A and B are shown apart, each in its own frame.
Chain A
C-alpha cells in the first residue's frame, strides 16, 4: 500500500526522516519497497483571497479579479466562472514555474494587465480537473505557499504489508501504531463514539450470520453530493486512488485511515427500504460499479433489498444503487464479512478491490463501529435528526489471552532478552501482561487477529527487540555422520562419467505439448495434463525426456556439428495411486558429423562404458521389440540383465527426427536410474592376474546370411570351453554381400598351455562354427 509520510508522521509522532523510517520499518516490520519524494515544482504559488471580481472591459468571458495575497493585492485576469468573492484560491505569482513548465509572467490580456494566474487542479499537477479554479478550505492562511497548504511537500512510501497483517496494518492508524512502537512511544488514537439511535425504522436483517458477523448501517437524509474538501482529495491521490465525490471519498478515506472497508449506496434505490444480507440466488444477476454484469453463484454473499442484489458483500457495489449526483438519501455500511467467503467470491468473479483485499485478510468486527463514527465525522453530520443507525452484532468479539512462557522466548530466539524488556515491547504493541512467574497471560486486543500462539508473541518481541541484535551461535547437535543418500551419489557418479566422455548436461522443462507427445508416438491419454497451463506448448507433464532432447539437438545443430548431450530428469505417468508414477531418467543423445561411422555403435559403446563404470555387469543387447516407437526398430536394442530390460539404446526413428525438424541421424540411450542402480555390484572383487602366458589365435568368419556377431561369439565360447579366456571382435567388413568378422581368441589356464592343445581347440572351434552356423572360415 502507498502511504503518505506526512500523514504517518502526524499520526505516529515519529521524528524520523522518510529514509530512516524506511530502514526501521524494513528491519522491524515490513519491507519498504519504495520511497518517492513528491514532485514539487510549485514554488511561487500561494493562497490568496478573492476580494473583488469585475467584468473584463474587452472580453465577455474574462473577469478581472483582485486577490489579496497577504498585505498585497494583485490584479489578475481570469477566465474561470466558479470563483466568488471570499474564495481562497491558489495564486501563481509572477515568476512562478508550474509543473507543466509554464512560467508565469506579467501579461497584458486584451488591454488589461494581469499579475499572475489563478490555478486549477491540473495546472498544479495534483489532478486532472480543469473545470474551474481550485477552491481551498476556508481555514487556509492567506499568503502561505500552496505547497504547504496542500501538503505537497510529502514523500510516498510503498510499504509491503505482510499477508498476516492485512487486517490492521493496511491502514494509516495500524501503520502509525507500528511506527510508534518501533520508536518506543505508546500509540494513542481517540476514536469518536458512535451515536446510536434506537431507531427501529431501519429494516436491516442478516440471513446468514455465519458469513456476516456484524452489520452497522446508517441512513443519512438530505445529503448533498459534491466535491470533497481538497485535503481529502489530496490524501486519496497520495494513496493512489482518484477522488469521486464527498460520500465515496469519505468511505475510501476512512478505509485507508482505519482499515475498515465501507460502502455507501443510494437509499432511494433500495426497494421498500429493506436491507438484507443473504446468499445470492442461483443465476441472479448484478451490474457492478465497474460496469460489468455478473451472474452470481449461490455461495456469493450479497447485500440486497426485497427484490434484488444491490452489492456483492465486501467485494464491490452495484451500479444501480451507486451514489449519483442526484442522490439525497444514502446508506453507509460498515460490516464484517467472512474472510474465506469473500476470498472465494472474489476469485470466482476474478475481482480484486481494496475492500475485498482487506476483508479476505479478516477484519476485526469491533472496527466497524469505530469506522462508522469516523466516516460520519468526515461527511460532517451535524444534525442527528437526519441520521438513523442500526448495528446488528449478535456475537461480539472480545480480547483473548495467550499464555506465554517467558523462558521460551530465550529458548526459541537464542537471545537473552530481559523480562523488563519483554514487558516493555509487548506494552508498546498494546499487548498487556498479567500474572507472575515465568508463565504469564498476554491480553490480545481484537485488532491483532494474527496473534494466536506463543510463537506469534515471540516474533513480536524478537522483531521489535531487533533481529540484528541476535548473535549467531553454533547449535548443540549430536555429532554424527550424515545418512548417505545413495541415489544422489549414484546420480552424481553417472553424470560425472557421462561428462567425462563428452556429454554435456542440459535441463528441459517438465512440460510438453500435445504435438510433442504425438510426434514420439506416445499416448496422450497416459499423460498428466495441467488444468491451467501457461501456453499450449506446456500442457502436459512429460512422460519421456526424448522430445526435449530432440529439440535441443535441432537447436544446437545450428552451431555445432558433433555433440553429445544428456539430461537427468523426472518423467511422470498416470498411475493407480493418488500420485503419478515419477521416474528419474538418464537419457543421452549423440550427433555425429560423419554419419558413416555407425552412430548406433557409438551410443552403444557409451552406454557400455557408463554401465561398466557404474558397476553393472552381465548385460546383453537384444533387438528392440516395440513396433510403433520413436526408436528406429532396425537399429535399436534393449539392454537386458536376466531377461529384464534395464535400458534402451539405438537410433531415433528417422520419421520422428523429421517431425522434430532434426536433419541429422541421432542415437540415444535411455536408462531409468533406479533400475540401473538396483543392478549395480556394490563391491568389486579382485581376480588374480595369471602368472602363465596366454596364447592368442585369430579366426576370421565369413558369412552370407545375417548371422549376428553375438551368435558367433557365443559359439566360440561354448566350443572353446574353459580355456577360452576372452574373445574379442577386432574387425568387421562387408564385401559382396558377405560379412566378415575377425576375432582374437585368448586361451589361458593355470599352467603353460601346449601348442598342440591350442591347435586342437582351434580346430574344434572352427569345425563347430562351420557346422553350427554354416559360415566359412577364412584360412
Chain B
C-alpha cells in the first residue's frame, strides 16, 4: 500500500509538471485528490487497517497530500506568471497619462462656496436679493437719504435715477429685505454681485462680489463681532487670525469699523506681504444703526446686531496670489483652468 501511495505521488508530480494551464491543474487535482480518486479510496480504507499500519500509512498519506497540495499551488502560481510574456508587453510608464478633460470652477465660486460652508457650519442662513434694486433698499432704508453726501461713498450706476432704480452698490440691500420678512434672532450671510461706477485697473473693478454677514438678537455686541470674525478668518486661512477694529463711518452702522486681520503670512510680525504693517485691511463692519431697524419695521432699541462685508475678489486675490482683479471677468481659460 505504501508503494501504491508513492506511485500515485510520483505520477501526480510528473503530470503536474506537464500541466499547461489552470484547467489542467484543476483536472489533475480532481484526478489525484478528488472524491473519486485512487488516493481518496486509500484514505477511506485506512480505517480497516491494523493500528500499527494505520499509523504508518496514515502519516504517509497525510504527508503526500500536503506535498501534492503544495505542488498544485506552486504549479498554479507558475502558470499564472507564465501565461504571457511580460517583457514583450513592457510599456514606458513615464509617458503621460491619457488626458481626461475636467472642468474648473471659477475662483470666486470656490471662495464663495468655502465662505458659505464655514458660515453654514456656524448656523448662518444664506440669503439673497436682487441685483437690480430700488434706492429704498440700497440707500434710504440703510440710513443713506437722498442728497446726503454719504451717497458719494459709493459711486453708483443708475438705470433710472428719477425712479431710483440702480444696479446695487452693495449686498447690504439684502438686510432690510430680509428683516422685513423675519424677526430676530437670526444670523444670515448674503453673498453676491455688486456694481460701482468706477474706472477699472489692476486693483479696481466696476463689477465685483461682496459678502454680507448679519447677526441680530437681543444682546449681540462688538465683542461678539470680533469673535465671529476671528472664527471665520482662522478657518478660512487655516491659521489663527486676530481681528483689529478701527473707527470708521458707514451710515448703516453705529459704531462703525474698518477691520483688519493679522497678516496670515507672518502672524502680525510684519513681512513683505503686509508691507511690514502686520495687519491686512479686509473690510467694513459695525453695529446695525437703529434707523435701519426702524426702516425694517422694528422698534428702536429693541434689538442689537452687527453687519460686516468685504470683497470676495480681495480674498481670492490674497488666497491665490492673483495680481490683477480684471482677470476674474476676463473669461480666459488660461486663468480659470488654474483653479
Q: Chain B: residues with CB nearer than 8 A to chain A?
A: 101-106, 108-109, 113, 116, 120, 123-128, 130-134, 147-150, 152-153, 157-161, 163, 165, 167, 185, 187, 193, 195, 197, 199, 206-207, 215, 217, 219-224, 226-228, 230, 243-249, 254-258, 287, 289-290, 301, 304, 328-329, 331-334, 336-337
Q: How far is the CA of A80 from the CA of B124 in the complex (A)?
A: 76
Q: Does A475 contact B228, Cβ atoms closer than 8 Å?
A: yes
Q: Does A531 contact B160, Cβ atoms closer than 8 Å?
A: yes
Q: Does A580 contact B132, Cβ atoms closer than 8 Å?
A: yes
One of A467, A477, A508 near B187 (C-beta < 8 A): A477
One of B102, B123, B126, B132 near A528 (C-beta < 8 A): B132
Q: Which residues on B sit within 8 Å (CB–CB) of A496?
A: 105
Output the least CB separation between A65 and chain B (Å): 51
Q: Does A504 contact B336, Cβ atoms closer than 8 Å?
A: yes
Output the least CB separation between A461 and chain B (Å): 9
Q: How far is the CA of A473 from the CA of B158 in the complex (A)?
A: 41
Q: Which residues on B sit within 8 Å (CB–CB) of A495?
A: 105, 109
Q: Which residues on A sit within 8 Å (CB–CB) of B185?
A: 477-478
In the complex, the chain A residue whose C-beta lies closest to that of B131 is: A570
Does A361 reach chain B (CB closer than 8 Å)?
yes
Contact string against B for A residues 635-669, beta-carbon threshold 8 Å, 1 for contact and 0 otherwise = 00000000000000000000000000000000000
Q: Does A556 contact B331, Cβ atoms closer than 8 Å?
A: yes
Q: Does A453 contact B290, Cβ atoms closer than 8 Å?
A: yes
Q: Does B331 contact A472, Cβ atoms closer than 8 Å?
A: no
Docked complex: A18-32 residues within 8 A CB-CB of B = 26-31
Q: Does B333 contact A565, Cβ atoms closer than 8 Å?
A: yes
Output the least CB separation between B260 and chain A (Å): 10
Does A38 reach chain B (CB closer than 8 Å)?
no
Output the least CB separation between A425 and chain B (Å): 13
Q: How far is the CA of A645 from the CA of B61 in the complex (A)?
A: 80
Q: Does A360 contact B256, Cβ atoms closer than 8 Å?
A: no
Q: Does A551 contact B105, Cβ atoms closer than 8 Å?
A: no
Q: How far is the CA of A26 from the CA of B246 in the complex (A)?
A: 7
Q: Which residues on B sit within 8 Å (CB–CB) of A207?
A: none
Docked complex: A689-706 residues within 8 A CB-CB of B = none
Docked complex: A478-527 residues within 8 A CB-CB of B = 478-483, 485, 487-488, 492, 495-496, 498-511
Q: Chain A: residues with CB nearer than 8 A to chain B?
A: 26-31, 162-166, 339-340, 343-344, 360-361, 408, 411-415, 453-456, 458-459, 462-463, 467-468, 470-483, 485, 487-488, 492, 495-496, 498-511, 528-534, 538, 541, 548, 551-552, 555-556, 559-560, 562-566, 569-570, 572, 578-580, 582
Q: Does A534 contact B126, Cβ atoms closer than 8 Å?
A: no
In the complex, the chain B residue whose C-beta lies closest to that of A528 is: B159
Output the least CB separation between B237 and chain A (Å): 16
Q: How far is the CA of A536 from the CA of B219 in the complex (A)?
A: 50
Output the least CB separation between B290 and chain A (Å): 6
Q: Which residues on A sit within 8 Å (CB–CB) of B258?
A: 31
One of A344, A454, A508 near B329 (C-beta < 8 A): A508
Q: How far is the CA of A510 from the CA of B127 in the complex (A)?
A: 21
Q: Does B223 contact A30, Cβ atoms closer than 8 Å?
A: no
Q: Which residues on A sit within 8 Å (CB–CB) of B329?
A: 507-509
Q: Which residues on B sit within 8 Å (CB–CB) of A528?
A: 132, 159
In the complex, the chain B residue whose C-beta lies closest to that of A479 is: B123
In the complex, the chain A residue whose C-beta lies closest to that of B159 is: A528
In the complex, the chain A residue whose C-beta lies closest to that of B193 is: A510
Q: Does B132 contact A541, Cβ atoms closer than 8 Å?
A: yes
Q: Which residues on A sit within 8 Å (CB–CB) of B207?
A: 509-511
Contacts A468-B244, A534-B199, A579-B133; is A492 near B113 (CB within 8 Å)? yes
Q: Does B187 contact A468, Cβ atoms closer than 8 Å?
A: no
Output the least CB separation between B205 and chain A (Å): 9
Contacts A485-B126, A556-B331, A556-B333; is A453 near B160 (CB within 8 Å)? no
Give me the 5 closest cross-chain CB pairs, A-B, nearest first. Answer: A414-B223, A414-B221, A459-B255, A499-B103, A552-B331
One of A163, A482, A534, A552 near B197 (C-beta < 8 A): A534
Q: How far is the CA of A499 from the CA of B228 in the complex (A)?
A: 32
One of B149, B153, B157, B255 near A455 (C-beta < 8 A): B255
Q: Does B331 contact A506, Cβ atoms closer than 8 Å?
A: yes
Q: Which residues on B sit within 8 Å (CB–CB) of A507?
A: 106, 108, 328-329, 331
In the complex, the chain A residue whose C-beta lies closest to that of B102 is: A502
Q: Does A413 contact B333, Cβ atoms closer than 8 Å?
A: no
Q: How far is the CA of A548 from the CA of B222 in the complex (A)?
A: 43
Q: How far is the CA of A16 from the CA of B13 in the complex (A)?
A: 102
One of A343, A412, A559 near B222 (C-beta < 8 A): A412
Q: Does B130 contact A579, Cβ atoms closer than 8 Å?
A: yes
Q: How far is the CA of A477 from the CA of B304 in the complex (A)?
A: 13
Q: How far is the CA of A564 from the CA of B101 in the complex (A)?
A: 9
Q: Which residues on A sit within 8 Å (CB–CB) of B161?
A: 531
Given contacts A163-B153, A470-B245, A531-B160, 19 further A-B contacts (CB under 8 A): A162-B247, A340-B148, A413-B255, A454-B301, A455-B255, A459-B255, A462-B255, A467-B257, A502-B102, A506-B333, A507-B106, A507-B331, A510-B167, A510-B193, A529-B159, A555-B332, A563-B333, A564-B103, A579-B165
Q: How far is the CA of A411 from the CA of B302 in the complex (A)?
A: 12
Q: Does A559 contact B333, Cβ atoms closer than 8 Å?
A: yes
Q: How far is the CA of A496 from the CA of B153 in the complex (A)?
A: 37
Q: How far is the CA of A538 from the CA of B246 in the complex (A)?
A: 37
Q: Does B337 contact A504, Cβ atoms closer than 8 Å?
A: yes
In the complex, the chain B residue whose C-beta lies closest to that of A501 is: B103
Q: Does A473 contact B328, Cβ atoms closer than 8 Å?
A: no
Q: Does A473 contact B223, Cβ atoms closer than 8 Å?
A: yes
Contacts A458-B255, A459-B254, A559-B334; is A471 near B223 (CB within 8 Å)? yes
Output the least CB separation between A493 and chain B (Å): 11
Q: Does A560 contact B125, Cβ atoms closer than 8 Å?
A: no
One of B125, B167, B217, B328 near A475 (C-beta < 8 A): B217
Output the least CB separation between B289 and chain A (Å): 7
Q: Which residues on A sit within 8 Å (CB–CB) of B249?
A: 162-165
Q: Does A582 contact B147, Cβ atoms closer than 8 Å?
A: no
Q: Does B159 contact A462, Cβ atoms closer than 8 Å?
A: no
In the complex, the chain B residue whose C-beta lies closest to that of A341 is: B147
Q: Does A162 contact B134, Cβ atoms closer than 8 Å?
A: no
Q: How far is the CA of A733 from the CA of B153 in the complex (A)?
A: 65
Q: Which residues on B sit within 8 Å (CB–CB) of A503?
A: 103
Most buried by A among B133, B199, B332: B332
In the complex, the chain B residue whose C-beta lies closest to that of A559 is: B334
Q: Does A485 contact B128, Cβ atoms closer than 8 Å?
A: yes
Q: How far is the CA of A455 from the CA of B252 in the complex (A)?
A: 12
Contacts A163-B150, A413-B223, A473-B221; is A459 near B289 (CB within 8 Å)? no
Q: Does B227 contact A411, Cβ atoms closer than 8 Å?
A: no
Output the least CB separation between B200 and chain A (Å): 8
Contacts A472-B223, A475-B224, A488-B126; is A534 near B206 (CB within 8 Å)? yes
Q: Does B116 contact A488, Cβ atoms closer than 8 Å?
A: yes
Q: Does B195 contact A510, Cβ atoms closer than 8 Å?
A: yes
Q: Which residues on B sit within 8 Å (CB–CB) of A29?
A: 247
Q: Which residues on A sit within 8 Å (CB–CB) of B102?
A: 499-500, 502
One of B148, B158, B226 near A472 (C-beta < 8 A): B226
In the complex, the chain B residue whose C-beta lies closest to that of A568 is: B109
Q: Which residues on A sit within 8 Å (CB–CB) of B332?
A: 555-556
- Show 17 residue pairs from A and B whose CB-CB distance is below 8 angstroms, ordered by the A residue: A27-B247, A29-B247, A31-B246, A411-B304, A412-B304, A413-B222, A455-B289, A472-B227, A475-B215, A475-B224, A477-B185, A482-B124, A482-B187, A485-B125, A507-B108, A555-B331, A565-B333
In the complex, the chain B residue whose C-beta lies closest to that of A461 is: B255
Q: Does B150 contact A472, Cβ atoms closer than 8 Å?
A: no
Output the least CB separation between B337 and chain A (Å): 6
In the complex, the chain B residue whose C-beta lies closest to that of A339 is: B149
Most buried by A among B185, B247, B257: B247
Output the least CB separation between B192 and chain A (Å): 9
Q: How far is the CA of A477 from the CA of B215 in the complex (A)?
A: 9
Output the least CB separation between B125 and chain A (Å): 4
One of B125, B152, B219, B331 near A508 (C-beta < 8 A): B331
Q: Does B134 contact A505, Cβ atoms closer than 8 Å?
A: no
Q: How far is the CA of A580 from the CA of B128 in the complex (A)?
A: 16
Q: Does B221 contact A413, Cβ atoms closer than 8 Å?
A: yes
In the complex, the chain A residue whose C-beta lies closest to that of B247 is: A463
